[in-house]
């Protein structure tokens, strides 16, 4: 049979394009502001393709403030009746896991678990009662659901509407690898060591394994608490939270090598690299003028942002502010700091003075700021949104991760040669800034990582997946990207029996010593009480005589 001619291919492309046009897609943005920001490029892309988009957002004062002007021509749909604020959840110095003493960290885990149900009940299910009826009458052809919209998953799945899940993180072994032993061969999620260190040091492997097992134990309890919330509403979590995240008909992830570890993927998982906005945002005039002045003066700008949730506290802010002032004087560096309004209010007394050298704004168009010629370094908490913005711009990173995937992201940037991880007390901030300013290989590595991740499909591929779902079809992952992800380092596949036995022995020994110490303390306490009781009895007996 002769190969189809150009006219036939063009005709078929036009038919498919027309079939996919004009669909109604409902987009759910998760719980946090950062979750909602990550779906904005997808919404804008769908709108450009001629689709109707309903952006479904919790009906709270905080969430209504996220997009006061909306997102293009998308219809804003606010569901729910209870007002709550994610900014206040697990908030305060006592939740600053990064800067807590080591002996307080297990207590924080216990505290978080003890309040899981009461804290997450309303945020997870605030839209639940109104969501089902809205889907039934809205005429939706497909749903794009941020994976953090946990409480909405059962309702969307039961609606019969085709849906695609989107998780704005790289393919992390913690979520995708369901063999508990194999997960613990990868760098742990809380404080990941370099892979080279794991390969060379038995001590590093044992330590990594023990941290991983601790996190797995935590996840078991967290899963139990989440399941109780679902059970209370007659909803199913299936085989657990991680399974619920990864078992969507189609799951879109970002990242990929060199900023992700290779891990075996199921056939429903798509790795897309980075997703660019169809149209760039505009830098406000005052901010742009400040950046232009720095560029014209030849003063490198360090852009500082810790994201929309991570909190700085008094001691941390005081140290950072002092170092910024020092570097502004000694290195001729200027600082643009994106710090949300609530943090500015809390830390007002500890922030550096603003002016020519330091500018603080409550919100910045981050991708566009990083692409300004004056910006040379990004001091970041290393959330995945910040990672993609910086590698798109080819800017090296000073990583100051605070929670969740941020630790892994920072480590991967460092291993790719695109950044440096800062110490918790910022003790290496000055020397690391000098290094990134004077060594061009860091910026080159950042740019190279961005160029590689752009080859994984990005926004066009994401739109293709969503549009196919709106037609009732779930496309298979890109064969080349899927094969690349499945090229797992043999080190992570080989059993580590010695590591497991040593970890178990250390845990059993630590528990035994703790119990022995408790018994000794109890025995001494009881002995002293008994002696006092005997002495008192003897005294009373003598008095009676």
Please state, in angstroms and rounded to a whole number, the distance separating the CA atoms of residues 325 and 327: 6
Domain that holds residue 390: 285-454
Q: Share the mean pLDDT of the chain.
A: 86
pLDDT the model gives residue 521: 76
Residue at 510 is within a domain: no
Count the neighbouring beta carbons within 10 Å of the beta carbon of residue 445.
Answer: 21
Asked whether residue 473 falls in the same domain as residue 442, the answer is no
Contact (CB, 8 A) for 128 and 149: no
Please state, in angstroms and rounded to a whole number, the distance separating the CA atoms of residues 481 and 479: 6
pTM given for the model: 0.83
Residue at 524 is within a domain: no
Q: What is the pLDDT averaged over residues 174-198?
A: 90
Q: Is the pLDDT of residue 496 over 60?
A: yes
Q: Is the pLDDT of residue 97 over 70?
A: no
Considering 228-237, 359-368, 456-465, the range whose residues carry the highest mean pLDDT is: 456-465
Please report, to the nearest 10 degrees, the dihedral formed by the alpha carbons of residues 173, 179, 185, 191 taken in order: 50
Residue at 523 is within a domain: no
pLDDT the model gives residue 532: 61
Domain count for the chain, please give it.
Answer: 2
Asked whether residue 356 falls in the same domain as residue 259, the answer is no
Q: What is the pLDDT averaged over residues 114-119?
A: 77
Contact (CB, 8 A) for 303 and 369: yes
pLDDT the model gives residue 490: 94
pLDDT the model gives residue 500: 87
DSSP states of 178-194: --HHHHTTSPPSSSPPP
Residue at 429 is within a domain: yes
Q: What is the pLDDT averaged over residues 14-37?
A: 75
Asked whether residue 79 falls in the same domain as residue 222, the answer is yes
Work out the burial of residue 200: count CB atoms within 10 Å of its CB; fewer than 13 is exposed, 13-18 middle, 19 or more buried: exposed
Q: Is the pLDDT of residue 447 over 90?
A: yes
Confidence of residue 243 (pLDDT cuts 50, 70, 90): confident
Total residues found in the chain within this entry = 545
Q: Which ranges of 59-201 does DSSP label H, i.e. alpha helix?
A: 61-64, 105-114, 116-125, 128-138, 153-159, 173-176, 180-183, 195-200
Residue at 364 is within a domain: yes
Residue at 540 is within a domain: no
pLDDT digits (tens, 9 = 90+) for 338-370: 988 888 888 888 888 888 899 999 889 999 999
Asked whether residue 297 falls in the same domain as residue 258, the answer is no
Asked whether residue 465 falls in the same domain as residue 360, the answer is no
Asked whether residue 113 falls in the same domain as residue 133, the answer is yes
Please state, in angstroms and rounded to a whole number, the distance separating the CA atoms of residues 125 and 128: 5
Asked whether residue 267 falls in the same domain as residue 295, the answer is no
Nearest C-alpha neighbor of 164 from the set 176, 149, 177, 178: 149
Q: Is the pLDDT of residue 8 over 90?
A: no
pLDDT the model gives residue 140: 94
Confidence of residue 545 (pLDDT cuts 50, 70, 90): low
Q: What is the pLDDT averaged over residues 320-333?
A: 89
* Residue scoring higher pLDDT (184 or 512): 184
Q: What is the pLDDT averaged over residues 260-264?
A: 92
Asked whether residue 124 falls in the same domain as residue 245, the answer is yes
Nearest C-alpha neighbor of 271 from the set 126, 169, 377: 169
Asked whether residue 371 falls in the same domain as residue 409, the answer is yes
Residue at 505 is within a domain: no
Asked whether residue 26 falls in the same domain as residue 131, the answer is yes
Residue at 521 is within a domain: no
* Residues in Cβ contact with 493 at an 8 Å cutoff, skipping those fewer than 6 apart: 182, 185
Strands laid side by side in the 419-421 sheet: 358-361, 334-338, 301-305, 375-380, 397-399, 419-421
Please state, in angstroms and rounded to a whole number, the distance separating the CA atoms of residues 430 and 325: 11
pLDDT digits (tens, 9 = 90+) for 65-87: 889 999 999 999 999 877 777 66
Give the range among 70-74, 189-193, 418-422 with minimum mean pLDDT.
189-193
Asked whether residue 322 falls in the same domain as residue 384, the answer is yes
Contact (CB, 8 A) for 362 and 334: no
| Final residue before a domain boundary, out of 432, 454, 476 | 454
Asked whether residue 366 falls in the same domain as residue 415, the answer is yes
Q: What is the pLDDT averaged over residues 312-332?
A: 87
**Which domain CATH number covers 340?**
3.40.50.2000
Give the three-class secondary structure for 52. Answer: strand
Please state, in angstroms and rounded to a whole number, the distance separating the CA atoms of residues 450 and 274: 8
Q: What percent of the chain has pLDDT over 90?
A: 50
């Amino acid at each position: 049979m002769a190969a189809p001619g150009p006219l036939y291919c063009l005709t078929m492309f036009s038919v498919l394009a027309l079939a996919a046009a004009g669909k109604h897609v409902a987009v759910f943005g998760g719980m946090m502001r950062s979750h909602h920001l990550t779906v904005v490029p997808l919404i804008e892309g769908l709108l450009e393709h001629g689709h109707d988009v309903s952006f479904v957002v919790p009906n709270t004062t905080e969430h209504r403030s996220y997009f006061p002007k909306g997102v293009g021509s998308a219809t804003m749909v606010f569901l729910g009746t209870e007002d709550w604020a994610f900014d206040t959840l697990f908030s305060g110095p006592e939740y600053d896991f990064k800067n807590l003493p080591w002996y307080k960290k297990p207590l924080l885990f216990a505290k978080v678990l003890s309040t899981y149900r009461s804290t997450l009940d309303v945020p997870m299910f605030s839209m639940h009662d109104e969501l089902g009826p809205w889907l039934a009458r809205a005429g939706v052809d497909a749903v794009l659901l941020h994976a953090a919209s946990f409480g909405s998953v059962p309702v969307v799945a039961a609606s019969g509407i085709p849906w695609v899940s989107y998780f704005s993180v790289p393919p992390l072994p913690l979520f995708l690898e369901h063999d508990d032993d194999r997960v613990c061969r990868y760098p742990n999620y809380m404080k990941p060591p370099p892979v080279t260190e794991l390969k060379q040091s038995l001590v590093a492997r044992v330590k990594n394994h023990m941290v991983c097992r601790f996190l797995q134990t935590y996840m078991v309890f967290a899963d139990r608490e989440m399941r109780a919330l679902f059970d209370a509403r007659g909803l199913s979590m299936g085989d657990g939270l991680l399974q619920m995240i990864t078992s969507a008909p189609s799951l879109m992830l970002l990242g990929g090598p060199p900023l992700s570890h290779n891990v075996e993927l199921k056939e429903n998982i798509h790795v897309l690299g980075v997703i660019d906005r169809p149209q760039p945002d505009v830098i406000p005039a005052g901010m742009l003028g400040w950046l232009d002045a720095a560029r014209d003066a030849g003063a490198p700008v360090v852009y500082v942002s810790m994201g929309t949730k991570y909190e700085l506290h008094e001691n941390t802010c005081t140290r950072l502010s002092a170092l910024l002032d020092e570097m502004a004087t000694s290195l001729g560096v200027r600082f643009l700091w994106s710090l949300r309004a609530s943090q500015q209010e809390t830390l007002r007394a500890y922030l550096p003075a603003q002016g020519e050298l330091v500018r603080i704004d409550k919100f910045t168009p981050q991708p566009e700021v990083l692409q300004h010629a004056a910006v040379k370094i990004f001091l970041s908490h290393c959330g995945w949104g910040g990672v993609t913005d910086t590698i798109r711009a080819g800017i090296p990173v000073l990583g100051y991760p605070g929670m969740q995937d941020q630790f892994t992201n920072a480590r991967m940037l460092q291993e790719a040669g695109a950044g440096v991880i800062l110490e918790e007390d910022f003790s290496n901030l000055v020397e690391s800034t000098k290094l990134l300013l004077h060594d061009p290989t860091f910026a080159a590595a950042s740019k190279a990582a961005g160029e590689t991740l752009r080859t994984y499909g990005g926004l066009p591929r994401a739109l293709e997946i969503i549009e196919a779902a709106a037609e009732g079809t779930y496309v298979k992952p890109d064969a080349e990207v899927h094969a690349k992800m499945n090229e797992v380092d043999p080190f992570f596949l080989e059993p580590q029996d010695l590591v497991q036995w040593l970890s178990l022995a250390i845990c059993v020994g630590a528990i035994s010593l703790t119990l022995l110490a408790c018994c000794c303390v109890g025995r001494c306490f009881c002995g002293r009480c008994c002696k006092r009781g005997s002495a008192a009895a003897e005294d009373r007996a003598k008095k009676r005589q």
